[in-house]
Amino acid sequence: MELFYNFPLWIALFSVVFAQGVKIPLAYMASKKWDLTLVTSTGGMPSSHSAAVTSVSTAIGLEHGFDSALFAICTIFGVIVMFDATGVRRHAGYHATVLNQLVVDFNKFVTEAKSWQQKAETEKREELKELLGHQPIEVFFGALLGISLALIGYFVVLN
């Protein structure tokens, strides 16, 4: 089955898993708290999106040539993904932070207004996810990780 020998696919998947896994010890070094939820979270250091797109682009370049149309396609889509991670998704996270604070402030106001009328209710609300995108440095190190893993996989494992 050719799927099992598709190096670009497997190195990209490995890069995602590796980047997500390495977030846990990196976050521990910064906060001194273990957070296993980072394995499935978005955002953080390094960017698994960047690791995936750069590793697949590098693998395609190594297998089909860096002058091939496939490498060009992968590279352009990779740049779009990395730009999106540092742009739109990061700013959506900033908006989520502001919206969460607005909800807290509004709920505080409503609670105070209810107490004026001697009414009290507790309400549970869902917060918006704030860690959506990446800082440029997180994308850079994700990209560096993806390229490194692809090169190591190609020259050490496959050869």
Q: Provide the 3-class DSSP secondary structure of residue 62.
A: helix
**Model confidence at 133, in pLDDT bands (50, 70, 90)?**
low
DSSP 118: T
Length of the chain: 159
Q: For residue range 47-100, what is the model confidence (pLDDT) as tens digits?
A: 999 999 999 999 999 999 999 999 999 999 999 998 888 777 667 777 777 777
Cis peptide preceding 25, ω within 30 of 0? no
Burial 63-89 (b: 16+ CB within 10 A, else e): eeeeeeeebeebbeebeebbeebbeeb
Domain boundaries, the chain: 2-87+136-158, 91-132
- The closest of 25, 61, 53 to 134, measured between CA atoms, is 53
Q: What is the pTM of this model?
A: 0.71
